[in-house]
A = this chain, B = another copy of it.
Amino acid sequence: MKQIKNIAIVGTGVIGASWTAFFLYKGFNVYAYDPAPDAEENLKNRVTIYLRDLFELDHETDFDGKVTQLLAQLHFKNELADAVAEADFIQENGPERLDLKQDLYLNITKNCPETTIIASSSSGLKVSDIQKNSLHPERIVLGHPFNPPHLLPLVEIIGGEQTSQTYKDQAFEFYSHLGKKPILIHKEVKGHVANRLQSALWREAFYLVSEGVCSAEDIDIAITNGPGLRWAIYGPYLNMQLANQQGFKAALHHLGGPMMEWWGDMHAYTLDENEIEKLDQQTQVFIEKLGEFDLLAKRDEALIDILSMRKKLELP
């Protein structure tokens, strides 16, 4: 794998800006492109905030000078071709429409070096479809982060039909080396892995409120004061291991029966305008109760705290 010095960020919305901050923080030159008006200004504002998060995560203080230094390594380009021409790695964060994506990949691959890995942040599209019209499609992979990407370590990697194993392995190695926690997915399924897992939870959360079993606030309290506390520590498998003193198998022998009964009692659920209205109303009631509480700022403060703890305890 060639040495990576220059990163190109294609699409600099919230996700692209967060990736930009991450790569700058890791010492790369970043070339960014986005056709939206004010994109450059918005990007620099967001990156400044995200860089501060990253310094805080590393318990650094007095980092204003360093932020300015890192921002000098960010080069916004008005043409896609200029952003990708010298790129050693490209992180793409364009709109989630297949026709647009395919055009974009044709343009990227026409203008970047032949062996540059192109990783897509797409949460919904298949790499097999994304890579269809592009040149040298074997180096196109999914590099799907979780919001906000500069803080959350997960990156989901998968290739399409035309992607080579070598490039998947290189992408995995690259992200790992930077301290991310990539996983390599073996089969293309809708929503990849983490979005499927979280949407399974959302479905039941919506269903229970829609059926009047409890309120939206109750659901959130149940998660953050119950199982959610454990999910920041271990995932479903290690938690099941701990659910019984004899371990995973004994836990499932004990819990499997009731759990299958609960699964059998779960129902399909359809989101329509009425449902969205109902769920939103309850969410806003909950938020109003919280008063002057800055949801976003507190979330990121809490994330930094949990990530530090996970590092300290060397959690997997």
Contacts and interface: CB of A to CB of B under 8 A. Distances in A.
Interface of A: 14, 96, 123-124, 146-147, 152-154, 156, 181, 183-187, 189-191, 193-206, 208, 211-214, 216-238, 240-243, 245, 247-249, 252-253, 256, 258-263, 265-266, 268-271, 276-277, 279-280, 282-284, 286-287, 290, 293, 295-296, 298-299, 301-303, 305-307, 309-310, 313-316
Contact of A183 (B199, B218, B228, B290): B218
Contact of A205 (B235, B276, B283, B295): B235
13 contacts: A187-B212, A194-B226, A217-B237, A222-B235, A228-B228, A228-B231, A229-B307, A234-B299, A260-B270, A290-B316, A302-B315, A306-B309, A309-B309
A253 B316 CA distance: 35
Given A220-B237, A263-B199, A258 B191 contact: yes
Contact of A154 (B197, B211, B225): B225
A156 B214 CA distance: 11
Contacts of A310: 224, 302
A259 to B, nearest CB: 5
Contact of A276 (B185, B221, B249): B249
Contacts of A147: 243
A233 B189 contact: no
A221 B181 contact: yes
Contact of A222 (B156, B221, B225, B229): B156
Nearest to A244: B14
